[in-house]
Structure 1
Amino acid sequence: MQITGAEVIPVNADVTPLGEPDGIAPYESNHDSVEDVDRVLVRLDTDEGVSGWGEMLAALASPEATKAVFESVVIPPLIGRSVWEINALIEEFYFPYVKIEPFIGAVEMAMFDALGKHLDVPVSKLLGGAYDPAVDVAYAVGILPREDSRRHARKAVADGFSVLKTKAGPDWRQDVDRIVAMDEAADGNLEFRLDPNQGWSIDEAIRVGAELGRSGVDVQYLEQPVRIDSVGNYSSLRSRLQIPIAVNEDTYFKHNLMTLVREDAIDVAVVDIIPAGGIVEMRKLAGLAEHAGVSLAHHCGFDLGVKTAAMVHAVAATPAISLAADTVYYGWAEHVIDDPFTVEEGQIEVPDGPGLGVTVDEEKLERCRLD
């Protein structure tokens, strides 16, 4: 089954506003405020009439630039290739001065989707099989006022979640206060993740860890507390804190993760199939972390259904990922797939249909496409 064509479709989707059920917008972080999101979907067509879908965030916050890279660089070499040539695709796209991995990740996703449909099996079976029918996910919120944070903590518990992730920064004292308030609101029934997106200094990260350690809050980990160019500081940070240290953006660079693992500098790696360059490459990172005794979780970047499906398949078929995956899927105000996912008791079921197991609703897609 050969690839005969492709279409790149940039879309913009709204996030449900705060105050509405499941509302999380504006989703505030240390570096931005999200009320709507630009995503790019890729459809690969084949000579047997089967199509596969992939998805990624608009690179450099530009749907136009993302589309241009796909159409001029990534897609032309795929035409005429078989959809199962996934490993060859990964090896052949080599651009030493440009990080091309996210684009490869989206195309690889579409190839897995088409191959699964062709063979009439879910992607998880192509990966060796899901070890669980559902994937645990963490409830995620942005930086919110104290009382709004407490309300979301209560909602997370009521909806069956056991882990809550919150963005953090730039005021670490307010971050600590919010976490303590959420822990009280949840009656101690949640584990917490704090993600300042590289926004703290070493001193601030140490103070946060010390304050939370004294508070008795169950902190699963601090995620990427300092910059990715601070690799040498993580060993010092980990030795001075009892709270587990995680990295996310560092996992986007394979050699960074290898260095951190070699130095025994982290407790958790938060991986993502798109910046890793696809499911195959993400599982290589997972294997590296697992052999080093580093726990694993999967990142979420406002995935619009197609990538959510790919994440669920990949996580379910990768036992090394032992911690709940992040998600804000419940926060979308609109969807582009026929049967949107539901999060029940803190889990998303692994689709059992062929390929990714989701169907893109092309009418919905047209309503939110940007071009």
Structure 2
Amino acid sequence: MEITNVAAETVSVPVVPLDDGGLAPYVTNHGEVESMERVLVRVDTDEGISGWGEMRVFLSPRTTETILEDGIAPWVVGHSPFETESLRRQVFIEYTNVDMFFAPIEIACWDIVGKVLDKPIDELLGGRTAPGLTERTIDPNRQETSRVDVAYCLGILPPAESREHARHAHEQGYSVLKTKAGRDWREDVDRIVAMHDEVDGRLDFRLDPNQGWRFDEAVRVAAALEDAGVYLQYMEQPIRVDAHGTLARLRQRTSQPIGPNEDTYIAHNLRELIERDALDVAVLDMTPAGGIAAVRQLAGIAEDAGVPAAHHCAFDLGIRTAAVLHAVSGIPGFTLPPDTVYYAWEDDVLTERLAVEDGSIAVPDGPGLGVEIDPAKVEEYRVDHD
């Protein structure tokens, strides 16, 4: 079996407005989201079996599609989709990191392999080894589950509105709420305290300023929350990337767990963070890492260090959401719920949408990713470059 073609197409799908129970506008410290452009990647083979991957737009839809089709495809066409490890090691372009463009192609290869073998990806990875495990051994009496708990995500809102969403998330069965931050550290504290009080501490919280705080502000946020009796699940990437020594000092100054995200996208960064005692949680992402096999490598580094891992969300449609579900189920080390905003999409490009129930999503049990793409939906939301 050989790869014969790589095709990329961009879609733009609206996000359900806040007034209708959704998240739009989803406000962060660097913008707002009301719809999101996603690039769908199809990998074809000479045996008529195709696989799918997905990534976010880089600079522009046309740029992203061109890099995928003209830049990365020539490295993989003619190779077997079973060669995921060798392919990711051979894709090399001087002066730049192309891992994130290889990632959707690699995910599509896993989809193809699963379809050929008639097995879901999580089974190929080891068979639902990850949920809830923090030891190298498995309890033989452990109850296997096909569902993955997920974290509810929320943009920056006033405290009163944030309260409503915290109550809604708790009522819908979520155990964790992640919210954006970084525009005003005092308001960030007020929002978390308001949400914590609204649910009587029955939700864990993740606070993500996307590198939006100075060191001193991060120290004050952590101290203010501790004074209010709020202990986060983690503060995600509180300060700028590549300041690992400063991040280590922040960890020494606070009892709030530190969860780098953007800093973990490169494997040697994760190792350095661990060596510097600069993190409590590794917030990983398969796309910048280079795919499922690459994020498995990162999760192994974290697991060996005794650091729990969670998986990041980038406003993923059903293709990448399915890939994340398979990864966190089949790869040991992912012991915290992945982030998701899947419940907030107005639609998807799948023939049958994934169901979010009681704060969790079932891992698709069909071959490969276990999802089917609806060509009519792709056409409906396709971005026209002209």
Which AA in structure 2 matches 1:154?
R
Partner in structure 2 of residue 173 of structure 1? 186
The within-5 A match list for 1:154-173 is: 154-173=167-186
CA RMSD of aligned residues (A): 1.0
Which AA in structure 2 matches 1:55?
E
Instruction: Work out which of the residue numbers 344, 350, 360 in structure 2 matches 1:347.
Output: 360
Give the secondary structure class of the aligned counterpart of 2:233: strand
Which AA in structure 1 matches 2:20?
E
Partner in structure 2 of residue 142 of structure 1? 155
Q: Which stretch of the first structure deviates more once superposed, 123-132 or 335-344?
A: 123-132
Alpha-carbon distance between aligned partners in 2 of 1:291 and 1:170, rounded to the nearest angstrom: 36
In 2, are the aligned partners of 1:169 and 1:199 still within 8 Å (CA)?
yes
Partner in structure 1 of residue 91 of structure 2? 93
2:121 paired with 1:123: yes
Alpha-carbon distance between aligned partners in 2 of 1:120 and 1:247, rounded to the nearest angstrom: 37
Alpha-carbon distance between aligned partners in 1 of 2:380 and 2:198, rounded to the nearest angstrom: 40
Query: For residues 31-76 of structure 1, what are the alpha-carbon distances to aligned partners after superposition, in whole Å with 9 as ceiling and x for unaligned?
Result: 111011111011111122111000000113x111100101111112
Partner in structure 2 of residue 330 of structure 1? 343
Quote how far apart the aligned CAs of 1:319 are.
2.5
Partner in structure 1 of residue 28 of structure 2? 29
Instruction: Work out which of the residue numbers 329, 334, 358 in structure 2 matches 1:321.
Output: 334
Partner in structure 2 of residue 10 of structure 1? 10
In 2, are the aligned partners of 1:190 and 1:218 still within 8 Å (CA)?
no
Alpha-carbon distance between aligned partners in 2 of 1:79 and 1:235, rounded to the nearest angstrom: 44
Quote how far apart the aligned CAs of 1:3 are.
1.3
In 2, are the aligned partners of 1:139 and 1:161 still within 8 Å (CA)?
yes
Alpha-carbon distance between aligned partners in 2 of 1:184 and 1:163, rounded to the nearest angstrom: 15
In 2, are the aligned partners of 1:16 and 1:333 still within 8 Å (CA)?
yes
Alpha-carbon distance between aligned partners in 2 of 1:171 and 1:105, rounded to the nearest angstrom: 35
Partner in structure 2 of residue 277 of structure 1? 290
In 2, are the aligned partners of 1:12 and 1:39 still within 8 Å (CA)?
yes
Question: TM-score, normalising length from structure 2?
Answer: 0.94
Alpha-carbon distance between aligned partners in 1 of 2:92 and 2:79, rounded to the nearest angstrom: 17
Question: TM-score, normalising length from structure 1?
Answer: 0.98
Which AA in structure 2 matches 1:180?
V
Query: For residues 316-342 of structure 1, what are the alpha-carbon distances to aligned partners after superposition, in whole Å with 9 as ceiling and x for unaligned?
Result: 012311111100000001210011111
Aligned-residue identity in percent: 53
Unpaired segments of 5 or more residues in structure 2? 130-144
Partner in structure 1 of residue 133 of structure 2? none
Query: For residues 107-161 of structure 1, what are the alpha-carbon distances to aligned partners after superposition, in whole Å with 9 as ceiling and x for unaligned?
Result: 0000000111111110111111113411111000000111110010000001000
Instruction: Work out which of the residue numbers 302, 308, 328 in structure 2 matches 1:295.
Output: 308
Alpha-carbon distance between aligned partners in 1 of 2:301 and 2:215, rounded to the nearest angstrom: 26
Quote how far apart the aligned CAs of 1:258 are.
1.3
Partner in structure 2 of residue 198 of structure 1? 211
Alpha-carbon distance between aligned partners in 2 of 1:102 and 1:86, rounded to the nearest angstrom: 14
Partner in structure 2 of residue 266 of structure 1? 279
Q: Aligned residues, how many? A: 369
Alpha-carbon distance between aligned partners in 1 of 2:310 and 2:44, rounded to the nearest angstrom: 32
Quote how far apart the aligned CAs of 1:243 are.
0.6
Alpha-carbon distance between aligned partners in 1 of 2:207 and 2:379, rounded to the nearest angstrom: 36
Alpha-carbon distance between aligned partners in 1 of 2:56 and 2:101, rounded to the nearest angstrom: 10
Quote how far apart the aligned CAs of 1:253 are.
2.0
Partner in structure 1 of residue 62 of structure 2? 64
Which AA in structure 1 matches 2:84?
I
In 1, are the aligned partners of 2:300 and 2:332 still within 8 Å (CA)?
no
Which AA in structure 2 matches 1:318?
I
Partner in structure 2 of residue 245 of structure 1? 258
Query: For residues 156-203 of structure 1, what are the alpha-carbon distances to aligned partners after superposition, in whole Å with 9 as ceiling and x for unaligned?
Result: 001000100000011000000000100111121100000000000010
Quote how far apart the aligned CAs of 1:265 are.
1.2
In 1, are the aligned partners of 2:15 and 2:24 still within 8 Å (CA)?
yes
Partner in structure 1 of residue 74 of structure 2? 76
Partner in structure 1 of residue 41 of structure 2? 42
Alpha-carbon distance between aligned partners in 1 of 2:159 and 2:349, rounded to the nearest angstrom: 33
Partner in structure 2 of residue 305 of structure 1? 318
Which AA in structure 2 matches 1:322?
T
2:121 paired with 1:108: no
Alpha-carbon distance between aligned partners in 2 of 1:318 and 1:70, rounded to the nearest angstrom: 27
